[in-house]
Amino acid sequence: MKTWPLLCLLIALSVTYASADDGYRLWLRYERIADPAVRAAYAKTFGFIAVSDSGDIVHNAARELQTGIGAMTGKHIPIVKTVPKNGRGIRLSLSGASDVTPVSADSYAISLEGGNVVIKSAGNTGLLYGSFALLRHLQQHLPVEKVVTQSKPKVQLRMLNHWDNPEGTIERGYAGSSLWKWYELPETVDPRYADYARANASIGINGTVVNNVNASARFLTAEYLHKVAALAGVFRKYGIKTYLSVHFAAPKTLGGLKTSDPLDPEVRKWWTEKTKEIYGIIPDFGGFLVKANSEGEPGPQDYGRTHADGANMLAEALAPFHGVVIWRAFVYKADPNADRFKAAYDEFAALDGKFARNVIVQVKNGPIDFQPREPFSPLFGNMPRTPLGMEFQLTQEYTGFATHWVYEAPIFKECLDSDTYVNGKGSTVARIVDGSLHNYPLTCVAGVANTGSDRNWTGHPMAQANWYAFGRLAWDHTLSAQAIAREWTQLTLTTHAKAVATVSDIMLRSRAIYVDYNTPLGLSRPWTGSHYAPEPWQNRSSRPDWTAIYYHRADSLGLGFDRTASGSNALEQYRPEVRRAWENAETCPLPYLLWFHHVPWSKKLSSGRILWDELCHRFYTGADSVLWMQKQWDGAQTAIDPAIHADVTGRLAKQYKEALWWRDAWILYLQTFSKQPVPAIYPKPERTLEEVKKSVNVYLMR
Ligand code: GCW
């Protein structure tokens, strides 16, 4: 213990701005508090951490408090078993309720009792979450008296989905390679796994699917199950359950059976035995995530069976162990005459009520695919008898990889706050997902992870906020995007009030800015390829819905996808109130206009501009706004670690270049249809369409 003063000194030294912050600590930096009055007040209040339970989870909670408060105050705080007679401190107390449901085990209360801060919960995980809540409070230098609170997660399963492959790559990952070193596991257990778990636990995440939904059967072999077990052993100590994505055809590919038909008794037996084997190795295993009959993955439809048949077979195998099946609704067929928008609803809505009790159907927030802005998926509200889980994407597949600063909380909130009108006004997507509207027995929110082996975890330092915001909203969807932005900034970057205001302001505007220069007015761009470079001209692919022209439908008359009754009629999948708001091109809100209407180039919009001019306006102001982001960011320089500041400055410079790229590509290409000039108030693009295409081709070269 004598090393403590030295350690504290080292921590204090390491966080002065003379040395660089590499971002590794995320929002758990525990910077030494500069204000001596606050530091002294905290030091006086936190003389000990009393904890009677010695289980791993509670032990980690106490350790975290010790490390965090120790670093912030420069004081060593002992962990003790009984509350000392004198002095003030923290008490972690299991309140021992008999009806411990998953939600109440995670809930916590923080109170002040006789000078002590008492964190109470019916479960160990609740004590862990309460400890992190206290640390969040202190990291914002708030008065101890204000810490009194009660908190309960609104959703049971709050999980990350990793699209990590067995050879270490990450599908749609932009922050290096996979965190999981499969070839080293299980013998070598990277200490980083525990830091990953800590970070997740600190924001309430309690589940992780470690492998890609485009799943390799390799993960179901005994060799790999032992590797997964080593990870699960680390995660469990932070209240996190481990799940696997499974390859539906594993009975054939791995088991050597002739079929993977879910109604075949041999196939069912194979899954039952495999599941038993898994629980023998990982006793608290969470369950399976399945992508079936989607983008070439095998599934029950290969045998003329339904998604429910497939899910229920796995559910039966998992039920004795209380495991769950999370079955994805991300499906669409290669039909040139179909509208991909309608596919999930068409395949799933009729199966409502046909799934086993331990199945959750996981739905992406929008009907197409994680676009920068999508209307909410019409499945929400249309499966009252089937628990629907939410799938958000944290990794920035369509929101600029690691070179664009896009704070995603507004995307998540926009969807969660959307009113489906399914049980009248106020039937928000959030109330469906949290189970309150339809009394779902299971609730789940998943985020496709944006983590990787980069030292700062997420590539773009500001992308850490998306992981953070996801966890906070999965816990409590009523939090505002603004409150989370401010909180994250204070924990991660600076407590300097003006800089906090500046940075959170950039964050809050960043998504709208991105949409303006990337996909304004309801354009979308899920065409095939890397999803990095603009390519609105792309018209050839193995599938019609893997081209750009399928989505934007530009022609000599106008732009946009007609999804009204005169077009694909996807709007009929929504309730009349929603339909009415969107079906009339005159009154459809501009953000959704081209999602639902093919609009003539010269049509006057509610903004007072004609479509073509409005598009130009958005593309130009969007790209120019990146200059505003740069200016604001520069203004916050003195309050932010120089290494992080410089890193983001570089990325913003790149973002500006790419914003111009997107702007010019779209404008020059669409101009070949609109035949209209760029309004005189804007400078004309300095390149030709051919030149833009050439620069894009560089990124498409093999
Ligand atoms: O958006 C598409 C992505 C695929 C992904 C798929 C899915 C994992 O481009 O990379 O595959 O969605 O969600 O299954």
The predicted-structure confidence for 442-467, as pLDDT tens digits, reads as follows 999 999 999 999 999 999 999 999 99
Ligand 1 atom 3 nearest Cα: 172
Residue 9 domain flag: no
* pLDDT recorded at residue 337: 86
Structure confidence at residue 1 as a pLDDT band (50, 70, 90):
very low
Catalytic residues: 295, 369, 397
Q: Is the pLDDT of residue 4 over 80?
A: no
Asked whether residue 16 carries a pLDDT value surpassing 60, the answer given is no
What is the distance between the alpha carbons of residues 487 and 464, in angstroms, rounded to a whole number? Answer: 13
Q: How confident is the model at residue 12 (pLDDT cuts 50, 70, 90)?
A: very low
Name the residue of 369, 392, 448, 541 to mutate for ligand 1: max ligand atoms within 8 A of Cβ.
369
Q: Is the pLDDT of residue 683 over 60?
A: yes
Same domain (yes/no): 198, 136: no
Examine the domain organization and report whether 74 and 127 are in the same domain: yes
Q: 490 C-alpha vs ligand 1 centroid, how far in Å? A: 33
Residue 383 above 60 pLDDT?
yes
pLDDT at 389 over 50: yes
Atom nearest to 391 CA in ligand 1: 13
What's the confidence (pLDDT) of residue 13?
45
First to last CA, the chain: 58
Q: Report yes or no on 448 lying in a domain.
A: yes
- Residue at a domain's end among 150, 169, 192: 150
- Mean pLDDT in residue range 305-328: 98
Distance from the alpha carbon of residue 293 to the mean position of ligand 1, in angstroms: 13
Residue 435: is its pLDDT beyond 60? yes
Domain presence at residue 668: yes
Give nearest CA residue, ligand 1 atom 11.
Answer: 214
Residue in 162, 172, 370 to alter for ligand 1 test, most ligand atoms within 8 A of Cβ: 172
Atom nearest to 526 CA in ligand 1: 1
Residue identified by tokens 């590797």 is 227
Burial readout 413-442 (b: 16 or more C-beta within 10 A, e: otherwise) = bbbbebbbbbeeeebbbbbbbbbebbebeb
- 173, two tokens: 């990952």
Please check whether residue 1 lies inside any domain of the structure.
no
User: For residue 348, which of 287, 298, 292, 414 has the smallest C-alpha distance?
Assistant: 292
The three-class DSSP label of residue 261 is coil
Compute, in angstroms, the gap from residue 198 CA to the centroid of ligand 1: 28
Per-residue pLDDT of 224-277, as tens digits, reads 999 999 999 999 999 999 999 999 999 999 999 999 999 999 999 999 999 999
Cα(347) to ligand 1 centroid in Å equals 18
% of the chain residues with pLDDT over 70: 96
Residues 214 and 309 in one domain: yes
- How much is the pLDDT for 95? 85
DSSP assignment letter at 685: P
Ligand 1 centre and the CA of 248: distance in Å?
Answer: 17
Q: Is the pLDDT of residue 412 over 50?
A: yes
**Mean pLDDT to the nearest integer, 611-629:** 98
Structure tokens, 172: 């749609």
Atom from ligand 1 closest to the CA of residue 171: 10
Confidence of residue 501 (pLDDT cuts 50, 70, 90): very high
* Atom 13 (ligand 1) nearest CA: 330
Q: Which atom of ligand 1 is nearest to the CA of 214?
A: 8
The best mutation among 164, 291, 295 to test binding of ligand 1, ranked by most ligand atoms within 8 Å of the C-beta, falls on 295
**Residue 595 above 60 pLDDT?**
yes
CA distance 167 to 224: 12
Quick check: 527 pLDDT over 90? no
pLDDT, greater one: 263 or 17: 263
Q: Which is more confidently placed, 425 or 335?
A: 425
Whether residues 101 and 198 fall in one domain? no
CATH number where 54 lies: 3.30.379.10
- Per-residue confidence (pLDDT) for residue 97, from 0 to 100: 57
Q: Do residues 126 and 183 both lie within one domain?
A: no
Rounded Cα distance between 420 and 422, Å, is 5
Return the pLDDT at 43: 95
Question: pLDDT (tens digit, 9 = 90+) per residue, 554-567?
Answer: 999 999 999 999 99
Q: Which of 171, 340, 398, 530 to mutate to test the pocket of ligand 1 (most atoms within 8 A of CB)?
A: 171
Atom of ligand 1 nearest to the CA of 172: 10
Nearest of 641, 624, 636, 646 to residue 502 by alpha carbon: 636
pLDDT tier at 330, thresholds 50, 70, 90: very high
Query: Helices in 420-480 by DSSP H: which ranges?
Result: 429-433, 464-475
Question: What is the pLDDT at residue 361?
Answer: 99
The larger pLDDT score, comparing residue 599 to residue 701, is at 599
**Average pLDDT over every residue of 691-699:** 94
Task: For residue 154, give both structure tokens.
Answer: 């609104």
Q: Which helix (H) or strand (E) holds 444?
A: strand 444-448
Q: What is the pLDDT of residue 241?
A: 98
> What pLDDT is recorded for position 2?
47
Find residue 158's DSSP bridge partners: 445
Cα of 528 vs centre of ligand 1, distance in Å, is 10
Tell me, yes or no, whether 76 lies in a domain: yes
Distance 330 CA to ligand 1 centre (A): 9
Given a cut of 70, whether residue 8 has pLDDT beyond it is: no
Question: How far apart are the C-alpha atoms of 78 and 47, rounded to whole Å?
Answer: 7
What would the two tokens of residue 315 be? 């559910």
Q: Whose CA is nearest to atom 7 of ligand 1?
A: 330
Token pair in block for residue 340:
């991909």
Q: Is residue 38 part of a domain?
A: yes
* Domain span at 469: 157-223+240-271+286-480
Looking at the CA of residue 212, tell me the nearest atom of ligand 1: 8
CATH value at residue 531:
3.90.1330.10
Q: How confident is the model at residue 335 (pLDDT cuts 50, 70, 90)?
A: confident
Ligand 1 centroid – CA 142 distance (Å): 42
* Domain identity same for 462 and 337: yes
Domain boundary among 91, 120, 150: 150
Residue of 164, 212, 216, 397 to mutate, ligand 1, most atoms within 8 A of C-beta: 397
Which atom of ligand 1 sits closest to the CA of residue 531?
9
Q: What is the CATH number of the domain that holds 454?
A: 3.20.20.80
pLDDT, averaged across the chain: 95
Q: If DSSP codes are grouped into helix, strand and coil, which group holds residue 170?
A: strand
Looking at the domain assignment, is residue 280 inside a domain? no
24 CA distance to ligand 1 middle (Å): 28
DSSP secondary structure string for all residues of 570-638: GGGGS-HHHHHHHS-TTTS-GGGHHHH--EETTPBPTTSSBHHHHHHHHHHHHHHHHHHHHHHHHHTGG
Atom nearest to 448 CA in ligand 1: 13
Give the Å distance between the CA of 558 and the centre of ligand 1.
Answer: 30
Mean pLDDT of 168-176: 98
Sign of CA dihedral 230, 234, 239, 243: negative
CA neighbor of 657 nearest in space, from 439, 403, 412: 403
Distance of CA 372 from the midpoint of ligand 1 (Å): 15
- Tally of structural domains, the chain: 3
- The pLDDT score that the predictor gives to residue 19 is 59
> 22-41 pLDDT, tens per residue?
999 999 999 999 999 999 99
Of the pLDDT bands very low, low, confident and very high (cuts 50, 70, 90), residue 702 is: confident
Q: Where are the beta strands (DSSP E) in 490-574?
A: 558-559
Do 162 and 142 fall within a single domain?
no
What CA–CA distance (Å, rounded) separates 543 from 541? 5
Residues in contact with ligand 1 by the CB-under-6-Å rule are: 163, 171-172, 213-214, 291, 295, 330, 369-370
Mean per-residue pLDDT, 66-91: 96
State how far the Cα of 504 lies from the Cα of 484, in Å rounded to an integer.
9
Task: Answer with the one of 122, 150, 178 that is the final residue of a domain.
Answer: 150
pLDDT on residue 15: 46
Residues 442, 521 within the same domain: no
Could you tell me if residue 486 is inside a domain?
Answer: no
My answer on whether 103 and 210 are in the same domain is no
